Amino acid sequence: MTFLAAIGAVVLGFLASIGRVTQFGIETVSHLFRPPYYPREVGHALLQIGYFSLPVVGLTTIFTGGALALQIYAGGARFSAEAVVPQIVAIGMVRELGPVLVGLMIAARVTSSIAAEIATMKVTEQIDALVTLSTNPMKYLTLPRVLAATLVMPVLVAVGNIIGIMGGYLVGVNSLGFNAGTYIRNTIDFLEPSDIATSLAKGAVFGFLAALMGCFFGMQSGRGAQGVGRATKSAVVAASVLILAANFILTQLFFAA
């Protein structure tokens, strides 16, 4: 009985947090339509989330693109389909790996730092201080970060896609014996505009989720250093899981028809 009760409590808690997250998300978006706005904060967040994430995005995707090329070549060789490397790398990167990898890296890099920053502000009463200075923390802290992440993630995904394909290209041309011109032509010919559009759309959704989780768990933080640690951990886990789940749903939506 206590065992069942424990399971029930976990399920109820889970459902309650889904409710709270949804409410938090709706409130965040609603501030988009209600001044005042803090453009400086948005600019700062764009720089932090976008520009400073470029190195990590580049490194992650270039290695993945290279590894993908090697795998497809080795796998394809079994039924003499080695020639499809450029096409499969392009499809794999743009449709799935680019958005997902960049999303997860953003969850690691941006969600964690947002959560830790906001949780620290909460613990040291800086959020309370904002309120007493007639500044709504949702407008001043949450909206700029969520907005910036949503806007800049498609750009990061585009960069990630290009660098990932470049990783495949470098391996393909240098060690698998592909002709450089053919590789590029095959890649470009094979990719549809809709592949790119869905890739960027996924990016926007993942960016929204990553920043929202950081803000949500930061704002919910308990007291003390332990509270900050727990908020950060929960935010990264929630963002990663939500990104993967959203990826599945979006893939289903875009490609299963």
* Interacting residue ranges for another protein, rule: CB under 8 A: 36, 38, 121, 124-126, 128-136, 138
Q: Taking every pair of C-alpha atoms in the chain, what is the biggest distance, in angstroms? A: 69
Residue 156: CB minimum distance to another protein, A? 23
Nearer to another protein, 44 or 233 (CB): 44
**CB 198 within 8 Å of CB 250:** yes
CB of 20 or CB of 185, closer to another protein: 20
- For the bound state, the minimum distance from the C-beta of residue 132 to another protein, rounded and expressed in Å, comes to 4
Structure tokens at 248: 């599945």
Q: Which is closer to another protein, CB of 171 or CB of 231?
A: 231
Measured CA to CA in angstroms, residue 156 lies from 31, 73, 94, 107 at distances of 25, 27, 12, 13
Helix axes 224-255, 98-106, angle to 10 degrees: 170
Locate the DSSP E strands across 12-126.
Answer: none
Which residue, 199 or 232, is less far from another protein as judged by CB?
232
Q: How far is the CB of 120 from another protein (least distance, A)?
A: 8
CB of 31 to another protein, least distance (A): 9
Amino acid code (one letter) for 22: T
Instruction: Report the SS3 class of residue 139.
Output: helix
Beta carbon nearer to another protein, 48 or 150: 48
* Contact assessment for residue 139 and residue 31, using Cβ atoms and an 8 Å cutoff: yes
- Toward another protein, which CB reaches closer, 8 or 36? 36
Shortest approach of another protein to residue 141 CB, angstroms?
10
**Are 231 and 221 contacting, i.e. CB atoms less than 8 angstroms apart?**
yes
CB of 144 to another protein, least distance (A): 12
Cα separation, 26 vs 67, whole angstroms: 40
Asked if 131 contacts 78 with a C-beta cutoff of 8 angstroms, the reply is no
C-alpha to C-alpha distance for 90 and 238, rounded to whole angstroms: 29
